Structure 1
Amino acid sequence: MSRTDRTEAGVRITTLSNGVTVATEALPGVRTATTGVWVAAGSRHEQPDEHGLSHLLEHMAFKGTPRRNARRIAEDIENVGGEINAATSSEFTSYTARVLGEDVGLAIDVLGDILTNSLFDETELRREINVILQEYASIEDSPDEVVGDAFMEKAFSGQAIGRPILGRPQTIRRFEPAGIRAFIEREYTPARMVLAAAGAVDHAQVVEAAEAALGSLVARSAPETAPATYTGGEARLKRRLEQANVVIGLPGISFRDPGYFAMHMFAQALGGGLTSRLWQEVRETRGLAYEIDAFHWPYSDCGVFGIGAGTADRDLPELIEVATATARETAEGLEPEELARGRASLKVSLLAALETPGGRIERAARQLLAWGRIIPAEETVAHIDAVTVEEVRAAGRRTLAGPLTLAAIGPIRSLPPLERIAAALAA
């Protein structure tokens, strides 16, 4: 039986007796439904010998249950014109399906089946491990992916949040069905799960389907998540490539931090679009890179800020000099019109994400897991509008004062020493 029921920002929410949260949002005029289960468990919840297991689990969930083999899982969704997918991140894993509104019960049944009854057959496991090793090899052939992984490993040295989500061959090859089941038992607890549905949906029917699909899960406590701490560091990977890829990183902040929106707008003004300072100075004025950007990646208890670009070895010193100087100048001299652009960009991103059923369920699931409530779009817009020029400048100064992370790959003989780059940022 369901336990609690409430409505927030147009989203109806029911918590099942075992702790699973069900959230629905009916969208007038929409004939399809998107539904999914979000689990607040990802790669940062892995032990060292489990590195890559959450990503493998995402793959193995589609490989068969007592009721459905791998083909039947796909057929049950595609026979009604639907799509099914999954994704793994540092802090979440999601399993989603899009179908006609009349088939949402079937979609929830399939999702519940793969989440609660997967067999993790040894033969299927060995086959899927080989598939993931091929995926790993393809990433090793992509310099921007390699440097991104190296960047995170140095920014959060020795911590699960810094490890590549895909894993490494030495751990991937060792996985066994028992280890997958142990991870699920430990991390996939009902209180960490949100089943969300949006579009042509009826709340009572979705709750009934969710109860049938996930109601058998036993309520239990989840382990505490180890806190993450930004460390900084350096990785220089010399490869025979046509271009050097470099990422300069600094400590960011959590999405829970009151300064989150200001930090986001600092990244936007510095390198978030064609009018950003880095794009105009590095690309348009000097022609030092085909593209350059600044980013801020927030997590539940930390964050990381960075600048990424690709250029020729001979241009690395000038690119680094210009990028660091531009970052300092933005932190000291951000203009009101830049803040206005950042506000507008963030609002468009926020509101555009809510224009599809998929965007709606992702918002509902993530916010319920992170905050325990749905945050109305109007509340978020009000926070965005309240950010001041000085708050954005302060956010920039705050991140630029932190320890540096440097990751580079390719022909990087001319890349300045870490200490020189850090000194340039602090100048």
Structure 2
Amino acid sequence: MNHHFVREKKIDITRLDNGLVVATEQIPEVATATLGVWIGTGSRHEMPHEHGLSHLIEHMAFKGTERRSARQIAEDIENVGGDINAATSVEYTSYTARVLGENVDVAMDVLGDILTASAFDPGELAREKGVILQEYAAVEDTPDDLVYDAFMETAFPGQPIGRPILGTPETIDAFDEAVIRTFLKREYAPGKMVLAAAGDVDHGQIAALAQRSFGTMPAVPLREPDSGVYRGGERRIQRKLEQANIVLGLPGLSFKDPGYYAAHLFAHILGGGLTSRLWHEVRETRGLAYSIEAFHWPFSDCGLFGVGAGTAGKDVTELMDVTLACMRQATQDIGETEMTRAKAQMKVALLTALETPGGRLERIARQLLSWGRIIPSDEIVNKVDALTVDQVRAAGRHLLQGAPTLSAIGPLKGLPKVGDVAQALQR
């Protein structure tokens, strides 16, 4: 392939005495700087009484510190033309800011302030709980979101990795400053934090600013989350709706598993684009769904493979029959043309993500947290290119041997039982 498109820029890395890693990637042709602090903590690191706390803390970070009000946080960033954001996932929480290169000191000061000196004012805390409860209600009113929450809970029952990120009204209402500070002290440990910057940045300056903002954070012992143990099963939510939203899943692979890329490629060929098997058969040939997708979600120690779609109640049985047949058939006759196309699509997705400072920032932080090193793009591309038809078919057969998870919401009269689905996958 043309390696001009995957050439690696120089990434400088410094580790502070307390364990926090500082990594920068200078991009000379870019005038802005994107900075972010990534913490290797997400919803799966919460104890039962902390369910939803990672997400609440992410919200509260912008609600005032010991020296800035919520308004001042926003003004300090926007006065220099910047923007600031945060996100919570199952395994990570991130806080990012984008400014002109000349204003990285402002962005770093704000990020350091919200992560080390948040005030957690009781009034702001009460208001933000209300906001999150509205967010929770919105998910409850959105079947195509709710069905995926039900899917995760059914695949990993009674486990932190399977719980919805938002929490529940009961846990959200119970949170107070003491619970928040206990969690932060335990989980926001410098040894599981990466401060990354990309664009118009100077490593020496960023490292010095990081030392000033984060260098006094105490090093604390790192706590590993409970391992995710896939169980499977079914959950049906009967509702009077126009459509049935259905997710069928099976145990997948960790992103550290040697078979990860083959499993990912199998999912893409099955339902990853307009030329995928499911899209062609379900959407284009039979008109059974507006959209259908196959996915492979990897985590650090486990994963999920599955298919999600919505269809009219009268078409549920046919949709399931066609989907199961496509899944079985793909393990037998995936061909070279599909492989070539899927590999090209995966490489485009990989390289597109590296075309912005934000994309490069996320790659740096995630890889350092997960692998302790930056993985060169051509190393990933070479692994994808090396996959054979036999390997991808075998990966599909391995995936289909697992115990199914079936979650659905809406008119479900024609939905088969999960035991029947398991039998159908093995025909």
* TM-score, reference length from structure 2: 0.97
In the TM superposition, 1:147-166 aligns within 5 A as 147-166=147-166
Alignment match, 2:130: 130
Alignment match, 2:108: 108
Alignment match, 1:389: 389
1:131-185: CA deviation from partner (whole Å, max 9, x where unpaired):
1001111111110111010000001111100000011101101000100000010
How far is the alpha carbon of 1:237 from its aligned partner?
0.3
Secondary structure of 1:99's counterpart equals strand
- Which amino acid is 1:398 matched to? H
Alignment match, 2:217: 217
- Which amino acid is 2:137 matched to? A
Is the contact made by 2:9 and 2:25 (CA closer than 8 Å) also made in structure 1?
no
Alignment match, 1:189: 189
Q: Distance in 1 between matches of 2:214 and 2:69?
A: 19
Within the alignment, does 1:313 sit opposite 2:329 as a pair? no
Alignment match, 2:240: 240
Alignment match, 2:226: 226
Q: Distance in 2 between matches of 1:382 and 1:325?
A: 32
Q: Distance in 1 between matches of 2:318 and 2:356?
A: 43
1:48-85: CA deviation from partner (whole Å, max 9, x where unpaired):
11000000000011111111010000100001110000
Alignment match, 2:254: 254
Alignment match, 2:277: 277
Alignment match, 1:373: 373
Is the contact made by 2:147 and 2:407 (CA closer than 8 Å) also made in structure 1?
yes
- Which amino acid is 2:134 matched to? Q
In the TM superposition, 1:269-418 aligns within 5 A as 269-418=269-418
Q: Distance in 1 between matches of 2:9 and 2:45?
A: 31
Q: Distance in 2 between matches of 1:383 and 1:112?
A: 38
Q: Distance in 2 between matches of 1:266 and 1:52?
A: 33
How far is the alpha carbon of 1:123 from its aligned partner?
1.2
How far is the alpha carbon of 1:109 from its aligned partner?
0.8
Q: How many residues align?
A: 420
Is the contact made by 2:156 and 2:230 (CA closer than 8 Å) also made in structure 1?
yes
List, as ranges, runs of 4+ consecutive aligned residues in structure 1 with deviation greater than 4 Å. Answer: none
Quickly say closer, same or farther: Cα 1:9–1:220, change in 2 above 3 A. Answer: farther
How far is the alpha carbon of 1:418 from its aligned partner?
1.4
Within the alignment, does 1:142 sit opposite 2:142 as a pair? yes
Alignment match, 2:3: none
- Which amino acid is 1:147 matched to? V
Alignment match, 2:267: 267
Q: Distance in 2 between matches of 1:137 and 1:225?
A: 28
Q: Distance in 2 between matches of 1:135 and 1:77?
A: 25
Alignment match, 1:202: 202
1:302-336: CA deviation from partner (whole Å, max 9, x where unpaired):
00001011001111111100100100100111111
How far is the alpha carbon of 1:9 from its aligned partner?
5.8
How far is the alpha carbon of 1:121 from its aligned partner?
1.1
Q: Distance in 2 between matches of 1:221 and 1:48?
A: 21
Counting aligned pairs with the same residue, the percent is 63
Q: Distance in 1 between matches of 2:123 and 2:157?
A: 35
- Which amino acid is 1:413 matched to? K
Alignment match, 2:17: 17
Q: Distance in 2 between matches of 1:9 and 1:76?
A: 31
Secondary structure of 1:257's counterpart equals coil
How far is the alpha carbon of 1:288 from its aligned partner?
0.8
Is the contact made by 2:82 and 2:100 (CA closer than 8 Å) also made in structure 1?
yes
Q: Distance in 1 between matches of 2:398 and 2:121?
A: 50
Q: Distance in 1 between matches of 2:145 and 2:326?
A: 25
For the aligned residue pairs, the C-alpha RMSD in angstroms reads: 0.8
Which piece of structure 1 moves more, 220-229 or 343-352?
220-229
Is the contact made by 1:9 and 1:374 (CA closer than 8 Å) also made in structure 2?
no
- Which amino acid is 2:112 matched to? G
- Which amino acid is 1:51 matched to? H
Alignment match, 2:5: none
Secondary structure of 1:173's counterpart equals helix
Q: Distance in 2 between matches of 1:387 and 1:68?
A: 53
Within the alignment, does 1:65 sit opposite 2:62 as a pair? no
Is the contact made by 1:246 and 1:406 (CA closer than 8 Å) also made in structure 2?
yes
- Which amino acid is 2:23 matched to? A
- Which amino acid is 1:347 matched to? K
Q: Distance in 2 between matches of 1:315 and 1:198?
A: 49
How far is the alpha carbon of 1:224 from its aligned partner?
2.1
Is the contact made by 1:43 and 1:91 (CA closer than 8 Å) also made in structure 2?
yes
How far is the alpha carbon of 1:98 from its aligned partner?
0.5
1:195-229: CA deviation from partner (whole Å, max 9, x where unpaired):
00000000000001111111010111111221111
Secondary structure of 2:306's counterpart equals strand
Secondary structure of 2:34's counterpart equals strand
- Which amino acid is 2:235 matched to? A
- Which amino acid is 2:333 matched to? G
- Which amino acid is 1:93 matched to? T
Is the contact made by 1:24 and 1:196 (CA closer than 8 Å) also made in structure 2?
yes
How far is the alpha carbon of 1:105 from its aligned partner?
1.4
How far is the alpha carbon of 1:413 from its aligned partner?
1.2
Q: Distance in 2 between matches of 1:365 and 1:333?
A: 38
Secondary structure of 2:174's counterpart equals coil
- Which amino acid is 2:59 matched to? H
Secondary structure of 2:150's counterpart equals helix
* TM-score, reference length from structure 1: 0.97
